[in-house]
Amino acid sequence: MKEVSAGGVVFNSKKILLLRKFNGGWVLPKGHVKKGEKYSETALREVKEESGINAKLGQYIDSIEYQYFNFRKMKKSHKTVHWFTMYSTDIEFVPLEEEGFNEARYVETEKAMKFLIHNNEKTIIKKAIELMCEGEQ
Looking at residue 136, its pLDDT comes to 56
Q: Which domain holds residue 91?
A: 2-136
Is 3 a residue whose pLDDT tops 80? Answer: yes
Query: How far is the C-alpha of 31 from the C-alpha of 54, rounded, in Å?
Result: 16
Looking at residue 135, its pLDDT comes to 64
Predicted model pTM? 0.91
pLDDT bin (cut points 50, 70, 90) of residue 100 is confident
Asked if 6 and 81 count as a contact pair (C-beta separation under 8 A), the reply is: yes
Give me the CATH number covering residue 122: 3.90.79.10
- The number of folded domains in the chain is 1
In 3D space, the residue among 53, 52, 61 whose CA is nearest the CA of residue 82 turns out to be 61
- pLDDT averaged over the chain? 93
pLDDT bin (cut points 50, 70, 90) of residue 123 is very high
Is 137 a residue whose pLDDT tops 60? Answer: no
- List the helix and strand counts (H, then E) for the chain: 3, 7
